Chains A and B, each alone.
Chain A
Amino acid sequence: MTKFKLRLYITGRTPQSQRALSNLHEICRADLAGRFEIEVIDVLENPTLAENEKILATPTLVKRLPEPVRKIIGDLSDRSKVLLGLDLETLDPEGAHDHQRTH
């Protein structure tokens, strides 16, 4: 089973940061139970890490493993986009990206 190494960049304890955290936990619980590892980085406390990974926006979720590395920008409220970014979902060619599907 593929192990997911995720890193979430946030800035302080803003509502947006909180939302991103709870959305991420929710998605991981539902779709990645038992095979994920989350590291949360507060940019205000650790700007050098953000510099190295060239983070512009927060919240940003970085999927470090499995490759390819991918950045998912936003508070992760668009669940289907997050799943797409994590390669857990493919876009329906019929444009059915409005409703959510789970594996």
Chain B
Amino acid sequence: MTTNAPTDPRPGELEKLATGIVGFDQVANGGLPKGRTTLVSGTAGSGKTVLALQFLLSGVRDYDEHGVFVTFEEAPRDLMQNVRSFGWDLEGLVADKRIAVVDATPEPGEDVVHAGAYDLSALLARIENGIRSVGAKRVILDAIGALFPQLTDATIVRREIHRIAAGLRQLGVTTLVTMERTREEGGVGRWGVEEFVADNVILLRNRLENEKRRRTLEILKFRGATHHKGEYPFTIDADDGVTIIPLSAIELKQKSSDVRVSSGVPELDKMCGGGMYRDSIILVSGATGTGKTMLVAQYVQAAIEKGERALLFGAEESREQLTRNAAFSGVDFEKAERDGLLRIVCRYPEVMGLEDHLLQMKRDIHEFKPDRMAIDSLSAFERVSSAKSFREFVIALTSTIKFLEIPGLFTNTTSMLTGGETVTETHISTITDMIILLRYVELHGEMRRGLTVLKMRGTPHDKGIREYRIDSDGIHVLDRFRGVHGILSGSPVYSLEAERSRLNEMFRDGGADASQG
């Protein structure tokens, strides 16, 4: 029923059937065109069969809609075995008469002779029989292209597939047809498929990007119905099967909270007018050694002190390193973990694609239900992906935590020691609510550290560049740098006035300790 769809169809368009596939119904504005046939085309290994099977299984599981599964290439027994890794018990559903199987695979070694005109009425009759036997609402025809080499005359096969699609439409079932295409771009499929199922087409792609596989789904067209355009990343994994990440379809409906929480650094809270907002996304950006990880430790500590839970994703350092570093500033991660107030998850970005990282992180968040979370560092993920998928990753992640109304602190490592900006800053700064810059400042022949709150959404804040020090108690924010500008650009310029008085003081005091303070 379309009323179950997360997004209802627009007025005047064809009725949609909610598939139940995570994210798909959002991208498809409610689901597949109801009672019609939709072609799913993609290269080998692009996930066509898994998507189609998930359509059937979600139907049974979430909507009590039974299904028929017609296979043209892979023997039913093999297929059922292959999807066992997803925890899908097709055999059980077949035995319970919720799913019927029609085996249209060629018999191995079978000898077929063609002697005159024929049609595929027998196949249609068998599908109809399957539909009746389980009262099916959903049908999948998997790898229909395998019909062509089986039956020599491609023209007849095209005509017959068209007839089968028309027959299924009369029976009122919603059908997914999968078909292999040889390349990621160009024609929809082999054998001139566009000619017989042209109304609704979905393309699955599986491209190699930065040595990682990136799967995307694109709805090419729905006749008489709306859908979101463009490619949406998706993942296939053993727990959820296909999950589509509906980026631009994510609704920006998050409530905006005016509850403040502590950053863990009292002076920083003061700079922000009394703490950061509970649902804000904070980007802490700075070069190596500026104290980002320490800031994370204090941010975690602030939660622990209040008896709240923090989830920390480490991407560059191991659990041991993170724990040791936190211990330097007096934060006991080990105890917090034992008390169930902290969970540290360390996964190197290189181990899997960004979409899979996203899925895993979402799972961790939903499992642990933290009151705040942090990623140290976010820029490590940028290294292993394209700018586009990185941005998508950040959008999807931030919308997840915004929805939960918890703060998220991400660190970003800049490559230049003083000044400069990074891709992470430029690409995700619009998504964040608050940006804290940590910079080395070369001042009077000495390296010092400067901190500024570059942006804070929805509240006035201290816009000064403040000096800070790091000691065994953590980060201490001091006064503003005075008489100097251009710190953020990396080449500070001393104002003449300040320089003159400094020189005066130097001569008066003999200059020995004028550079301190």
List A residues at the B interface (Cβ < 8 Å): 9, 11-12, 14, 16, 19-20, 23, 43-44, 47-48, 50-51, 54-61, 68, 70-79, 81-82, 84-85
Contact = CB atoms under 8 A, between A and B. Distances in A.
B112 interface: yes
B122 A77 contact: no
Nearest to B105: A54
Given A51-B102, A54-B104, A57-B120, A74 B125 contact: no
Nearest to A52: B103
6 contacts: A14-B121, A50-B122, A72-B112, A73-B113, A74-B118, A78-B115
A74 B115 contact: yes
Contacts of B103: 51, 54
Contacts, number: 106
B122 A58 contact: yes
B150 A77 contact: no
Given A19-B116, A81-B113, 6 more contacts: A9-B122, A50-B126, A55-B123, A74-B116, A74-B117, A84-B113
Interface in B24-43: none
Given A50-B125, A50-B126, A54-B103, A60 B113 contact: no
Nearest to B121: A11
A73 B126 contact: no
Contacts of B116: 19-20, 23, 74-78, 81
Contacts of A59: 118
B513 interface: no
B251 interface: no
B129 A57 contact: no
A23 B117 CA distance: 12
A87 B238 CA distance: 51
B113 A71 contact: yes
A81 B115 contact: yes
B125 A56 contact: no
5 A-B pairs closest in CB distance: A74-B116, A47-B129, A85-B113, A81-B115, A11-B121
Contact of B118 (A23, A73, A82): A73
B237 to A, nearest CB: 34
Contacts of B118: 16, 57-60, 73-75
B164 to A, nearest CB: 11
Contacts of A50: 122, 125-126
Contacts of B121: 11-12, 14, 43, 57-58
Nearest to A12: B121
A12 B128 CA distance: 15
B111 A70 contact: yes
Nearest to A61: B115
Contacts of A48: 129
Contacts of B446: none
A84 to B, nearest CB: 6
B497 interface: no
A57 B119 CA distance: 5
Given A56-B104, A57-B151, A85 B122 contact: no
A81 B114 contact: yes
B107 interface: yes
Contact of A47 (B110, B112, B126): B126
A12 B126 CA distance: 14
A47 to B, nearest CB: 4
Interface string B80-114: 00000000000000000000001111010011111
Interface in B303-327: none
Nearest to B151: A57
B252 to A, nearest CB: 50
Contact of A16 (B114, B117, B150): B117
Contacts of B107: 54
Nearest to B104: A56
Interface in B132-178: 147, 150-151
B111 A71 contact: yes
Given A54-B107, A57-B151, A47 B128 contact: yes
Which of A11, A56, A74 has its CB near the most chain B CB atoms (within 10 A)?
A: A56
A99 B16 CA distance: 56
Given A56-B104, A75-B118, A44 B113 contact: no
Interface in B417-468: none
Which of A23, A57, A58, A74 has its CB near the most chain B CB atoms (within 10 A)?
A: A57
Contacts of A9: 122
B112 A71 contact: yes
Contacts of A71: 110-113
Contacts of A79: 115
Nearest to A78: B115
B151 A85 contact: no
A58 B119 contact: yes
Contacts of B120: 56-58
A57 B115 contact: no
Contacts of B105: 54
Which of B107, B117, B150, B151 has its CB near the most chain A CB atoms (within 10 A)?
A: B117
Contact of A77 (B111, B112, B115): B115
Contacts of A55: 122-123, 126
Contact of B122 (A23, A56, A76): A56
A34 to B, nearest CB: 23
A81 B116 CA distance: 9
